[in-house]
Structure 1
Amino acid sequence: MKGTAMNDLMTTYLACWNETDPAARRTLIDQHWTEQASYSDPMAQVRGRDAVDATIGAVQDQFPGFVFTPAGPVDAHHRQARFTWGLGPADAEPVIVGFDVVVTDDDGRIDSVLGFLDKVPA
């Protein structure tokens, strides 16, 4: 995957995290994540679409009204991309900032995510 495809991947990935309707979020996950996708960050380590969906729902419950936004360009090569994101109230400075490394399968679906937190509230 190159350039535009990886930018589209980041947009789709953040859309999954921002979708608050459970059925719509699950549709996005089913379309764009592999069946056994893994997600790991300092707060969670899960495998499979059900677990990814539950993790996203838990983050939304913990930070109601917050949205994920891109906070820089996508850096990509081969089937992986890294990008910085912010999480906070819409149209406000992010409260949390992190970056994720996303690896896709041959069809461009998300297969694994490694997340890192750069800024968290005290």
Structure 2
Amino acid sequence: MSAQSDRYTIAVTRYFEAWNAPDAQARAKAVADAWTPDGSYTDPLADAGGHEEITAVITAAREQFPGFAFRLTGAVDGHHDTARFTWELVSEAGGTPSGGGSTPVAGSDVVTLDGDGRIRTVLGFLDRVPAGA
């Protein structure tokens, strides 16, 4: 794996650490570790800028889907300062790495990174969303 590939993988790993942080304090720290201070997150349901707003978006998603976790579903692909990847929200009830349960939400994200590998922007696309979400 090249140093550039490692950079993308590390950034995406931090991204999922933020989405899966178990409590508010851990979530705020994980967002600060993953995103630049002026970073942003945009998908069809949210448009957030800065650590506080991004943390609020993640908290709202975690509250809407308790007992679920976000998981990478393929390889991280990237070039220059941009990476893309696919993910799904899985039930943790199955106790397996893939969640072993339902996957109500799935999508793909494109992130841009700064020179230190922190996220500047996330553009999210939702491929599967439950009715009423």
| TM-score after normalising by structure 1 | 0.94
CA displacement, residues 10-62 of structure 1 (integer Å, 9 cap, x when unaligned) = 11101100002111111111122111111100000011110001110010011
Query: Corresponding residue for 2:117?
Result: 108
User: Relative to structure 2, which stretch is displaced further, 22-31 or 54-63?
Assistant: 22-31
* Conserved 8 A contact 2:14-2:33: no
CA displacement, residues 56-85 of structure 1 (integer Å, 9 cap, x when unaligned) = 001001111110001111110011100000
Can you give the 5+ residue segments of structure 2 that lack an aligned partner in the other structure? Answer: 93-98
Can you give the 5+ residue segments of structure 1 that lack an aligned partner in the other structure? Answer: none
User: Relative to structure 2, which stretch is displaced further, 81-90 or 27-36?
Assistant: 27-36
What's the Cα RMSD here?
Answer: 1.2
What letter matches 1:86 in structure 2? E
Percent of paired sites with the same residue: 43
Q: What is the aligned residue count? A: 122
Distance 1:38 1:93 in 2: 29
Query: Corresponding residue for 1:59?
Result: 61
User: Relative to structure 2, which stretch is displaced further, 22-31 or 41-50?
Assistant: 22-31
Q: Is the aligned partner of 1:47 residue 2:56? A: no
CA displacement, residues 83-104 of structure 1 (integer Å, 9 cap, x when unaligned) = 0000020222422110000111
Show structure 1 runs of 4+ deviating over 4 A. Answer: none
Match of 2:52, SS?
Answer: helix
Query: Corresponding residue for 1:25?
Result: 27
Match of 2:9, SS?
Answer: helix
Query: Corresponding residue for 2:79?
Result: 77
